[in-house]
Amino acid sequence: MLVHQILSQKRSATIWSVAPDTTVYAALELMAEKNIGAVLVLEGSRLAGIFSERDYARKGILKGRASQHTLIREVMTSEVITVETEQRIEECMQIMSDLHIRHLPVTYRGELVGIISINDIVTAIITEQRHLIHSLENYISGGTYQ
């Protein structure tokens, strides 16, 4: 399965983002409202970073920063790893595992088109495995292979 297939199956194709001068508090409000664990940080249409719950915990709370007065640019991860729409999800899972990250922005020909999470990948793999098991069960029982 490829990344673009995961994006096409997501309920919401909206890319939730904030600007670098947004307060951490405002970003957290957005994340809570949308029930997401990270937001992309955009300067215009350019990907400037990503801000996650982990960034908040490690660079905000543990450093004693007040979320109402701290700007995203101060706590975001600015070296963002991205993947392309044609990459295999196994590659994405390996990247996430190796780098201990849970979100990957997705680009197509250099343009930001979405974001996938570890949950999206796990869900896709489970769905793919269920289909394979169903097909094998049909094959073994003499049914038609789909």
pLDDT in tens, the chain (146 residues): 999 999 998 877 789 999 999 999 999 999 999 999 999 999 998 999 999 999 999 999 999 999 999 999 999 999 999 999 999 999 999 999 999 999 999 999 989 999 999 999 999 999 888 888 888 888 888 765 55
pTM confidence score = 0.85
pLDDT tens-digit series, residues 117-126: 999 999 999 9
- 146 belongs to a structural domain: no
Cβ atoms within 10 Å of 93's Cβ, excluding its own: 16
Q: Quick check: is 45 in a domain?
A: yes
Instruction: Name the domain count of the chain.
Output: 1
In angstroms, the CA 114 to CA 145 distance is 34
Of 117, 129, 91, residue with least CA distance to 39: 117
Q: Is 145 contained in some domain?
A: no
9 within some domain? yes
Q: Which residues of 102-119 are buried (b: 16+ CB within 10 A; e: fewer)?
A: bbbbbbeeeebbbbbbbe
39, 18 contact by CB (below 8 A): yes
pLDDT given at position 129:
86
Residues pairing with 52 in the sheet: 38
* Residue 111 covered by a domain: yes
- C-alpha Rg value of the chain to the nearest Å: 18
Question: Does a structural domain hold residue 109?
Answer: yes
pLDDT of residue 85: 96
The reply to whether 113 falls in a domain is yes
Q: What is the span of the domain harbouring residue 18?
A: 3-140
Q: What is the domain-level CATH number for residue 77?
A: 3.10.580.10
